[in-house]
Structure formats: structure tokens, C-alpha cells
Amino acid sequence: MKRIMVTGALGQIGSELIVKLREKYGSDSVLAVDYRVPDKDYAGLFELADVRDREALDRLVTKYKIDTIYHLAAILSAKGESNPQLAFETNILGLYNVLEVGLKHRIERIIVPSSIAVFGPDAPKENTPVEVALQPTTMYGITKVTGELLGNYYYHRFGLDVRGVRLPGIISSETLPGGGTTDYAVEMFYAAVKGEPYVCFVRADTVLPMMYMPDCIKALIQLAEADGSNLRYRCNYNVTAMSFSAGELADAIREFIPDFVCEFKPDHRQKIADAWPRSLDDSAAREDWGWQPDYDLKSMTKDMIDKLRKKLHPSK
């Protein structure tokens, strides 16, 4: 029986990853961990712990005989720029704790998402390759580059099986995103389905790589289960599903909700978005472990609107 621990389990990705992992491996096999208290109706194994507290992680790994960790607890890009110290402590020291506890208990596998934030403004913007100079200018990006390097180091130096993907912006309907630069994409859907106008915080021509949540979950689990001998990279696989501008997303939503009104008033997050790639080369993930997304802009938009209509207007 697998014994999986997911840190940051109440976040945008964790809340949906947990459901899939429990479906796949059984409810008793998946422990959710976060430093926030869950809603009263939260179902399933849950423990409160701060990833900055190594002893707390150690106790949980011992208590539940954990063999696999999906380490999602992090401070994201926009929030990280407003509190860089917190981003450093959470993203770098938190990961260091997870790696050290993983090493001590000889855990089978650790999955750590990285991000397109590892790329700095000098990286090629189109079809950005895996291997390129990484010179991010945000604390979030710096913590993500460090995370990739640390994960690679623990694999090569100690044989700890650490793996990770550089995720693009993730769009989902279940849990609101936690302070990233691509949050506008999710907010736009919520506003449109509520029948409200939306003021987008990046320019209409801002193009970023994106992915729908079911593909994100698929990528994380598929990489976790891939044959390690096929992996050319460890913690820095590019993965992507689609690229579109904020204006194109508003147009795609208007195909389903024609009276949706969207204005574009860039704020401080425009600078972060401008430093990131417009599209990614994810051919290594496709070749090494069979990565292939299921959703494009049109199919994602339809599914998001269907799901949000049910969530926000259940009686209609």
C-alpha cells in the first residue's frame, strides 16, 4: 500500500491532487498536510504542520510511514514579491526540510513542482527550452531555481528520487489560486459566470503558457510514476498545454457568455508576466515520460464555464 503525504494540500493544486490520489490509491493512503485549518466538512486524513518546522514533518513521516511526498506548500509569485522573506523561508527552507526528512527516512519519491518563474527576462520568449540560463528577477523565481538545483543535488549526491515539472499558469474551478501572476485567468472565468465585468491586471496582449487543472494533476502523477531510467532531467521538466493572450481568453469566454465585459488595467504584476516565457518547449517531457495534455483553450473554456455554473448557480 502506498503512503503519500501532500504538503500545501488545501491550495489550488493540492485540493484537486488529493482527490485524484485518493481515488487512485485509496483514502487511507493519502495524508493531506497544510498550516491552515481546513473547513469543518473536510473529509479524509489531515494534519496541521508548517513545512518550516522540520520536526513536525519528521513526526508525520514516521507516524504515517510515508513513502512518497508531493511537496506543494509554497508562496507564489505575486505574494512572494510582497513578502520576499516569507517566500524564501517557505520555498527554500521548507523544501530543504522536506529533502532532509526524505533522506533520513529513505523515502521512495518526492515530487516538487517548479514554475515558469525560473526563467528571467533574458530567456527566449517563444518555445523556451529546458536548458537555458536561469536569471529570474523575482524572489519566487529565485526560490524555484534553488528548488530545482537542490532537488537535482539530492538525487545525484544521495540517490534520493526527487522529480519535478515547471508548471505554467494553472486554471481551475475548485479552489481559488493563492496569489500568483496568472490568477487573472481564473478570476476572469468567475466574473464572467457571475455576470460581472472584470478588470484584468495585465495587458490584453500578454501571452503566457497555461494549463487546465486536470492536465496539471495528470502531469504530476505521470511524472511520479514514470520509469526513472528514462528521465533525462529530474526537477526541471518543462510542461505546457496552451498559450494565449489575456485578450484571447476574454474572447474565448465571450463565445459562451457573449455579454462578458473585460477591461485591461495593468498593475505591478505586468512586470512579472513580461519577464516570463510566452510558450514552452516541453518535448523532453513528451519523449521521456509520455506527457500529452488533453485540453486546449476551447475545451478548457467550455469545461470551466460548465463547472463554475454548477458551483456558483447550483439551482439553475
Active-site amino acid positions: 140
> How many residues in the shown chain lie near ligand NAD by CB under 6 A?
28
Task: Assess contact for 301 and 256: CB atoms under 8 A.
Answer: yes
- Close Cβ partners of 88 (under 8 Å, ≥ 6 residues apart): 139, 143
Q: Applying CB under 6 A, which part among 49-57, 124-132, 149-157, 250-258 lies near ligand NAD?
A: 49-57
Q: Which is nearer to ligand NAD, 55 or 255 (CB)?
A: 55
Task: Assess contact for 44 and 18: CB atoms under 8 A.
Answer: yes
State how far Cα 139 lies from the chain centre.
Answer: 17
243 binding ligand NAD? (CB under 6 A): no
Binding mask 54-73 for ligand NAD (x = CB under 6 A): ------------------xx
94 binding ligand NAD? (CB under 6 A): yes
Q: Which is nearer to ligand NAD, 78 or 252 (CB)?
A: 78
Subset of residues 126 to 165 that bind ligand NAD, contact rule: CB under 6 A = none
Q: Which is nearer to ligand NAD, 18 or 107 (CB)?
A: 18
Q: Which is nearer to ligand NAD, 73 or 200 (CB)?
A: 73
SS3 at position 263:
strand
Beta-sheet pairing, 207-212 with 162-163: unpaired
Task: Assess contact for 182 and 169: CB atoms under 8 A.
Answer: yes
In the list 5, 60, 170, 191, the residue contacting ligand NAD (rule: CB under 6 A) is: 170
- CA distances to 42, 56, 112, 114, 161 from 9, in Å: 11, 16, 13, 16, 21
SS3 at position 211:
strand
Beta-sheet pairing, 242-245 with 207-212: antiparallel
Q: Which is nearer to ligand NAD, 13 or 305 (CB)?
A: 13
74 binding ligand NAD? (CB under 6 A): yes
6 binding ligand NAD? (CB under 6 A): no
Residues that bind ligand NAD (CB under 6 A): 7-8, 10-14, 34-36, 50-52, 72-74, 76, 90, 94, 113, 115, 167, 169-170, 177-178, 180, 182
